[in-house]
Every structure is written in C-alpha cells, then in structure tokens.
Amino acid sequence: MAQKGVQLDREAFSCSICLDLLKDPVTVPCGHSYCMNCIKSHWDKEDEKTIYSCPQCRQTFTPRPVLVKSTMLAVLVEELKKTGLQAAPADHCYAGHEDVACDVCTGRKLKACKSCLQCLASYCEKHLQPHFEAAPLKKHKLVEPSKKLQENVCSRHNEEMKVFCRTDQQSICYLCLMDEHKGHDTVSAAAERSEKQRELEVSRQNIQQRIQDREKDVKLLQQEVEAINGSADKTVGNSEKIFTELIRLMEKRRSDVKQQVRSQQQTEVSRVRELQEKLEQEITELKRKDAELEKLSHTEDHNQFLHDYPSLSPLSESTPSSSIKSRPLKYFEDVTAAVSEVRDKLQDVLREKWTNISQTVTEMDVLLSGPEPEPKTRAEFFKYSCDITLDPNTAYTLLLLSDGNRKVTVMTEQQSYSSHPDRFTGRCQVLSKESLTGRCYWEVELRGGGVL
C-alpha cells in the first residue's frame, strides 16, 4: 500500500505532456499543472487557432492565459526530489499486450529487459540488478526477454530440460533420462546446440553465397536491361532517321515528278495553243475570202465580174490536218505507269526486307535466352510463321501465279513469261521473293497430286 501511495504522489507531480517531474511548474485556469516550457510549446502550435485548450480536460481559453510559475508546486517538487522521489516512468516503459512483463513488479508492470533461464523469470532493469550484484546469481544465464521460459521446464517432472534426446529429437530433463529415455542417444542441450549451431552456420554460408550469386545475377540483368534499352533507343532513333530520309527522298521525287509534268504540260499546252491560234486565224481568213467569192458570184454584170475576178488574192498555204491526227494521244499515262512500277518495286523490296528486319528483331541475343525448345504444336510453330510471296521471274513456264503471287497452279500450256536469268527451265519450281533466315514456318494448301 505504501508503494501505491508513492506511485500516486509521483503521478500527481508529473507533467502529463513530458511524463517527467514538473520543471518550473505553472497552473492553467482549469487547475491542471504543467512544465512551463511544455505548455508554452503546446500552445505555440495553437496560435493560428487563437483558441487555447488544456491538454488534459480540453477546456478552452480566450485569450491565451498568462503563465506564472507556481512557487508552491516548485518547492514541493524540490522537496520530493530531496526525499528520493524519482520521475515517473514514461508510458512506453510499461509492458503492453505484446511485451514481456517483469515478473517482480507489482501493480502496473514494467517491460522486462532480460529473462533468466535458471530462475525462469523475466526482470525489468531495476529488478535485474541482483543478478549483477549477488555472486550466486551472476552465474545465471540471461537472455533476451522471452514469453516461452516455461517451455524450458519438463511438464512431467517440473525440472529444467538440460538434455537433448537425439533418438526422439526432443529436449528432456535428467529425470526423463533415467526413465522413458533410458538407453537413448542423448547429449547435453548445450552440445546439441553447438552442433546445430555449426550446421546453421554452414546453412547461412550457403545462403549468403547464394545471395551473392543472385545479387551478381541481378546486377547482370540490370546491365542487360540498360543495354537492351540503350540499343532499342539507338535503333529506334536510327530507324526514324533513315525512314525520315526515305520519306524526304520520296517527297522530293514526288515534287520532281509534279514539277516536270506541270512544266511539260505548260510547254505542250503552249504549243497546242499556238497551233490553235494559227488555225483560228486561217479560219478567219478563209471565211473572209469565202465572203468575197460569194459576193463576186452574185455580180450580175458579166464585164464587172470578169474585171474583178483577177484581182482576187490567192489563198495562203494551209496547215495539213494530217499532222494533228498522225498519232494517238496518250498524254501523261506513261508517267503514271512508270510511277506505278516504282511503287510496285518498292513494295516488293519492303515486303522482302521486312521479313529480315522482323526476324532480326525477334532473334536478338539476350543474356538469359538459351536454346529454344523444339516446337511441337501448331500454336508453337506459328511463333515462326512468315508470309511467302512467289517471284514470277523464277517461275517455271508451266506454272501460273495468282492471288497476288501467293498461289501457284500447274498448267498444261506454256505461260507467256518474259525472259529472265533467274527462271527455272528444267524443273517445275518457283522461288519466294522473301529471303528466309533462322527458323521459319508457313502452311501450304495442296490440291491435286504431287508436291512442288
């Protein structure tokens, strides 16, 4: 009861903010007391609210109360210090639900700082002192606070278990050794611990070595990621630059074709306009001449007719009509055909080279990529699928290509292919336009007999 009274006094003269004995105590209007610096700091945080409250009862004050040191409380605290009163332990020093509590403390227990394997008890810092001062207790084994001390006691004999039975793989006491474990392979718990400790160290070394190996692997993989990203960024940049140059070249060629066509258009139109104007002038002259002749033909006076007839001017040389109709008019259709031919050739080149580009991208050499397993299912084969376009310049003359040069039919009559050095002449064969590298897969639909 006396200790409880001291505990109450201790709490009565403690600041509820710092949980220590009052320093320069002040009392706020509601009656609660605090260290002057503690309550000042608390209210400094509330300056922006202009309303000040007591940390304990939450009573509010406006304006901010003027703090004056409580002389009486200060004297009492100093007297209590002289009588040996210590500051109250902070809340975090008391044992909570998850903490190991001191087995000696009464009332509200403090956290244990050590557990004794011989005493099978846990002690706070204060109650642990005898283990450092009393000679018999100095030999006791102290460990970190534990809630499982009772697991070191034999449930049958209530004795400390200092022996390990290797036969049954369990800890036992000396009485168990003379009873049901008699004749078993037993050693001291310390000896078994030493052996297991060595095994544990070996396991740790293996784990640490694996950790080092995996860290190296992770570092290599990180370097691989950086290399892949760097290579990809560089390739994308270079590809963008090349395609931009191609687009710029195509734009220039388009502009050149347009300029040449328009220039030739202007030249041809000017030439036709000039001829047209000349013909229109000739028509005007002929009409005028025809009007003179018509007027002369209506003259009734024979002598006048004969007098005027010789004065008629001769006709100028006429532009022959045959020079205009001497050839069919094609205008610029040949230009369109030439541009179309360029387009077709570019499409063929892009189609052929795109397969190489695509395969090169997918077959890049990555650190972790080993030999790929052989495909077995159709879905696995499709990973290597590629489009095949047949080359008409290589087709045997009895083969007919159709469906965008993706279908070939064996015919009985020779096909009218142009002469080409790549054409098969002895066998019924045809090559693809695309060059194939690495592993490739395609499917063929076969109708009729035989295989090409």
CATH of the domain at 119: 3.30.160.60
**Beta-carbon contacts of residue 300 (< 8 Å; ≥ 6 apart):** none
At 251 the three-state DSSP class reads helix
Structural domain contains residue 108: no
Residues 217 and 297 in one domain: yes
Say yes or no to pLDDT of 372 above 70: no
Q: Of 168, 191, 214, which closes a domain? A: 191
pLDDT of residue 92: 64
How many residues does this entry show for the chain? Answer: 452
Count of Cβ atoms closer than 10 Å to residue 228 Cβ: 13
Query: Looking at residues 140-151, what average pLDDT do you find?
Result: 85
Per-residue pLDDT reduced to its tens digit, 33-90: 999 998 888 888 776 667 788 888 778 888 888 888 888 888 888 877 776 555 555 5
Whether residue 131 contacts residue 86, with contact meaning beta carbons closer than 8 Å, is answered with no
Which is nearest to 189 in space by CA: 117, 274, 83, 252? 117
Residues 411 and 432 in one domain: yes
pLDDT of residue 318: 67
Strand (E) positions, 8-108?
25-27, 33-35, 52-53, 60-61
User: Which residues are bridge partners to 408 per DSSP?
Assistant: 401
**Beta-carbon contacts of residue 213 (< 8 Å; ≥ 6 apart):** none
Strands in 142-143's sheet, in edge-to-edge order, are 121-123, 114-116, 142-143
Q: Of 311, 334, 366, which closes a domain? A: 311
- The rounded distance, in Å, linking the Cα atoms of 282 and 335 is 35
Structural domain contains residue 293: yes
Which is nearest to 436 in space by CA: 397, 387, 377? 387
Residues 219 and 301 in one domain: yes
At 21 the three-state DSSP class reads strand
Residues 200 and 307 in one domain: yes
At 52 the three-state DSSP class reads strand
Phi, psi for residue 17 in degrees, rounded to 5: -90, -50
pTM: 0.40
The domain tally of the chain equals 4
Supply 42's token pair: 């608390």
Residues 232 and 153 in one domain: no
Residues 185 and 212 in one domain: no
pLDDT grade, residue 449 (50/70/90)?
low
Which is nearest to 67 in space by CA: 95, 96, 33? 33
Sequence letter at residue 445: E
- The rounded distance, in Å, linking the Cα atoms of 111 and 105 is 9
Per-residue pLDDT reduced to its tens digit, 88-115: 555 568 888 888 999 888 878 889 999 9
pLDDT of residue 7: 43
User: Which residues are bridge partners to 441 per DSSP?
Assistant: 385
pLDDT > 90: what percent of the chain?
A: 24
Say yes or no to pLDDT of 2 above 60: no
Per-residue pLDDT reduced to its tens digit, 293-309: 888 888 888 888 888 88
Which is nearest to 77 in space by CA: 18, 9, 16? 9
pLDDT of residue 167: 92
Residues 201 and 305 in one domain: yes
Which one has a higher pLDDT value, 382 or 420?
A: 420
Residues 122 and 157 in one domain: yes
**Chain mean pLDDT for the chain:** 83
pLDDT of residue 327: 53
Give the count of alpha carbons within 13 A of 169, CB side only.
Answer: 1
pLDDT of residue 450: 60
Residues 170 and 126 in one domain: yes
Residues 212 and 184 in one domain: no
pLDDT grade, residue 451 (50/70/90)?
low
Structural domain contains residue 417: yes
Per-residue pLDDT reduced to its tens digit, 377-411: 888 887 788 888 899 899 999 899 888 888 888 88
CATH of the domain at 56: 3.30.40.10
User: Minimum mean pLDDT among 221-225, 296-300, 334-338, 381-385: which range?
Assistant: 381-385
**Beta-carbon contacts of residue 283 (< 8 Å; ≥ 6 apart):** none
pLDDT grade, residue 371 (50/70/90)?
low
Whether residue 161 contacts residue 172, with contact meaning beta carbons closer than 8 Å, is answered with yes
- Beta-sheet pairing, 114-116 with 170-172: unpaired
User: Minimum mean pLDDT among 46-50, 157-161, 334-338, 434-438: which range?
Assistant: 46-50
Sequence letter at residue 158: N
Say yes or no to pLDDT of 367 above 60: no
Query: Looking at residues 136-161, what average pLDDT do you find?
Result: 85
Which is nearest to 363 in space by CA: 432, 441, 437, 434? 437
Which residue's entry shows tokens 């009409």? 287
Structural domain contains residue 180: yes
Query: Looking at residues 187-198, what average pLDDT do you find?
Result: 91
If you average pLDDT over each of 20-24, 94-98, 272-276, 354-358, which comes out highest? 272-276
Query: Would you state the torsion angle of the CA atoms of residues 155, 156, 160, 163, taken in this order, to the nearest 10 degrees?
Result: -110
Count of Cβ atoms closer than 10 Å to residue 168 Cβ: 14
| Structural domain boundaries, residue 65 | 10-84
pLDDT of residue 219: 93
Count of Cβ atoms closer than 10 Å to residue 292 Cβ: 13
Structural domain contains residue 403: yes
Structural domain contains residue 352: no
Structural domain contains residue 222: yes
Residues 187 and 200 in one domain: no
pLDDT of residue 201: 93
Residues 168 and 204 in one domain: no
- The rounded distance, in Å, linking the Cα atoms of 124 and 130 is 11
Q: Of 191, 212, 233, which closes a domain? A: 191
- What is the CA angle 286-289-291, rounded to 5? 110
SS3 content of the chain, % helix, strand, coil (to 5): 45, 10, 40
Query: Looking at residues 281-286, what average pLDDT do you find?
Result: 90
Structural domain contains residue 336: no
Q: Which helix (H) or strand (E) holds 399?
A: strand 399-402
CATH of the domain at 430: 2.60.120.920
Query: Looking at residues 208-230, what average pLDDT do you find?
Result: 92
Supply 13's token pair: 């003269």
Say yes or no to pLDDT of 10 above 70: no
Say yes or no to pLDDT of 434 above 90: no
User: Minimum mean pLDDT among 48-52, 165-169, 243-247, 253-257: which range?
Assistant: 48-52
pLDDT grade, residue 252 (50/70/90)?
very high
Q: Most distant CA pair in the chain: distance in Å?
A: 177
